[in-house]
Amino acid sequence: MIHLLLAVIYLSFISLGLPDSLLGAAWPKMYLEFGVPVSSAGIISMIISMGTIISSLQSDRLTKKLGTGRVTAISVGITAAALFGFSISGSFWMLCLWAIPYGLGAGSVDASLNNYVALHYASRHMSWLHCMWGLGTSLGPYIMGYVLTGGQRWNMGYRYISCLQFMLTAILVCSLPLWKKVGGNAQVQEEASSEPLPLKKILSISGAKEVMLAFFCYCGIEQTAILWASSYLVFHSGFSAEKAAGLAALFFIGITVGRALSGFITMKLSDPQMIRMGQAIILAGILIMLLPVGFGSQAGLLMIGLGCAPIYPCIIHSTPDHFGADKSQAVIGVQMASAYMGSLLMPPVFGLIAQNLSTSLLPMFFLLLLILMVFMHEKLLRLT
């Protein structure tokens, strides 16, 4: 039973990643069809992000009322319906409309699953599960590319992913009894045993604001690297756009391989030690990017990806230890919301820096966020 449920959770994490990179892969075809500026993808992305923030903040209330299994099944079903809506959209405003349930579904399932795994499974599983998310983000563009090169329209890519999500929803519905069985080394308890915490009370918990800021900074680094790595390689390092697009994948390689390796390393190191190790590797990557050598940019991005790998899953997994199992769902909900805020705000902030100053400031931007993240994480450890 334990292993069967874990397999279902692994599938759920792959499904979380599948839609995340679809918009970027399909947008070069989509914006031409809808007759909108290429920058309009940012509008859809912001709507999705706002939905995830709202649903993350409500995850504690929903999980305590319905339980993790039901929240996961319902959220994946909502996401599947939204993806199908994308596939039948004939105008830009319809995409914006379907982006609302898309974001609302993604935020709840992300926060609920992360808390469930943090409570009931070892740290290695958290790292490997987020590695599965990386696998999902890699499969999404591959499926869309297969559709486009096969002569089909972009909407069929969304439809195929939607069908996969509906299949997973059916699996999750069938697996609902498993969520009440033994998870990891502890008896799984339904989350409805206590009242949900209001946001004001969550923020008053010692260490809550610090972990939120640490998560904000981490996701600011991750998403800024994802969005601006190619531009940095073109404008600072002198690569062609085609070459830079391939080299920017080094960051994804680093983070995916790093999470696979982190699962083994967590058997020897604690969550705080893993986070500190990741921060040290990010610092090394930033310093390498600043070296006046030809391979510095590429090697630095790879190192930063490796450093990012353990931080996200280990912050999540350590939440019950820092705040208690009774408060972990509420705290993880606001952590996820702050993570999405970092993803939403920091890439545009660097965009303004790049436009008005220079893209060569990307390593220094990473360094500032890293310093604040380290400070907040160390303060969190002192407080909790």
Domains along the chain? 2-178 (1.20.1250.20), 199-383 (1.20.1250.20)
In Å, what is the CA distance from 163 to each residue of 19, 154, 208, 333, 349?
A: 12, 15, 38, 28, 36
| Cβ neighbours, 10 Å, residue 349 | 12
Q: What was the pLDDT predicted at 20?
A: 76
Q: What was the pLDDT predicted at 173?
A: 92
Letter string b/e over residues 286-299, b meaning 16 or more CB atoms within 10 A of that residue's CB? bebbeeeeeebbbb
Q: 69: burial class by Cβ within 10 Å (0-12, 13-18, 19+)? A: buried
| Cα dihedral sign, 99-104-108-114 | positive
Q: What was the pLDDT predicted at 139?
A: 80
Ramachandran angles phi, psi of 9, nearest 5°: -65, -40
Cβ 376 vs Cβ 217: under 8 Å: yes
Counting runs of H as helices and runs of E as strands, what totals does the chain give? 17, 2
Which structure tokens are listed for 153? 């329209």
Token match 């499974």: residue?
Answer: 121
Taking the model in full, what pTM does it have? 0.77
How far apart, in whole angstroms, are the C-alpha atoms of residue 147 and residue 23? 14
Query: Rounded to 5 degrees, what angle do the CA atoms 230, 236, 242 make?
Result: 35
Q: What was the pLDDT predicted at 32?
A: 85
Q: pLDDT 10s digit of each residue in the chain, 384 long?
A: 667 888 888 888 888 888 877 787 787 788 888 888 877 877 888 888 888 888 888 887 888 888 888 988 999 999 999 999 999 998 999 999 999 999 898 877 777 888 888 888 888 888 888 888 878 877 887 788 888 888 888 899 999 999 999 999 999 999 888 887 644 444 444 444 456 677 788 888 999 999 999 999 999 998 888 878 888 888 888 877 657 766 777 887 888 889 889 989 998 999 999 999 999 999 999 999 998 877 888 999 999 999 999 999 999 989 988 998 888 888 888 898 898 889 888 888 888 888 888 889 999 999 999 999 999 999 999 998
Which structure tokens are listed for 156? 């069929």
How far apart, in whole angstroms, are the C-alpha atoms of residue 247 and residue 211? 32
Q: What was the pLDDT predicted at 185?
A: 42
Q: What share of the chain is helix, strand, coil (3-state, %, to 5)?
A: 85, 0, 15
DSSP 261: H
* Contacts for 253 with CB less than 8 Å, ≥ 6 apart: 302, 305
